[in-house]
């Protein structure tokens, strides 16, 4: 079984129940499944190719908000999100569900997964063309 140390440590990006990602001003650290879930969330607003050390990392899901609301688009977003979070070696398995809230012009992304050592995590995000808002995170 992996330890929290093996799953890594990161700086909290959703401090004090913040719903949008931003660095914790106190640089609080997180680890374990929570760090893995946060890394996944950050991939969803990082444009592909924008990280020099990881050119295949990222999928800015905000780009899909104004796309035609169809099962094909929702499947494409679900596939892209699943692929991106699965690229993290610390992720054992993941299931992603995507729904479109046309009235609010938001996409809801629910991610349930396990780390490579079996810890579970859940992350629910509301994605608009401007922001990615964390609705829940359990790990």
Q: Model confidence over 26-51: pLDDT tens digits?
A: 888 989 998 998 888 888 888 888 98
Q: Residue ranges of the domains in the chain? A: 4-138
- pLDDT tens track for 100-134: 887 888 889 999 999 999 999 999 999 888 887 88
Residue 28, both tokens: 């609080």
First-to-last alpha carbon distance for the chain, in angstroms, is 16
Segment 7-32, tens digit of pLDDT: 888 888 776 666 667 777 888 898 99
pLDDT of 1 reads: 45
Check residue 138 and give its pLDDT. Answer: 65
Full-model pTM: 0.83
pLDDT at res. 81: 94
Q: In whole angstroms, give the CA distance from residue 72 to residue 139.
A: 31
**The CATH number of domain 4-138 is 3.10.450.40:** yes
Q: What are phi and psi of 57, to 5 degrees?
A: -95, 135
Cβ-contact 115, 132 below 8 angstroms: no
pLDDT higher at 96 or 1: 96
Identify the pLDDT of residue 95.
97
122 closest CA partner among 46, 38, 64, 62: 38
Q: Give the Å distances, CA to CA, from 67 to 94, 107, 129.
A: 25, 11, 10
């Amino acid at each position: 079984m992996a330890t929290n140390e093996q799953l890594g440590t990161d700086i909290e990006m959703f401090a004090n129940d913040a719903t949008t990602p931003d660095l914790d001003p106190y640089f609080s650290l997180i680890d374990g499944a929570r760090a893995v879930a946060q890394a996944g969330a950050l991939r969803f607003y990082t444009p592909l190719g924008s990280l020099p050390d990881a050119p295949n990392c990222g999928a800015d899901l905000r780009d899909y908000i104004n796309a035609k609301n169809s099962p094909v688009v929702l499947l494409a977003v679900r596939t892209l999100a699943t692929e991106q979070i699965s690229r993290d070696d610390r992720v054992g398995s993941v299931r992603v569900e995507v729904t479109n809230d046309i009235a609010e012009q938001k996409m809801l992304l629910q991610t349930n997964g396990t780390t490579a050592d079996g810890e579970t995590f859940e992350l629910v995000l509301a994605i608009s063309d401007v922001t990615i808002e964390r609705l829940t995170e359990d790990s």
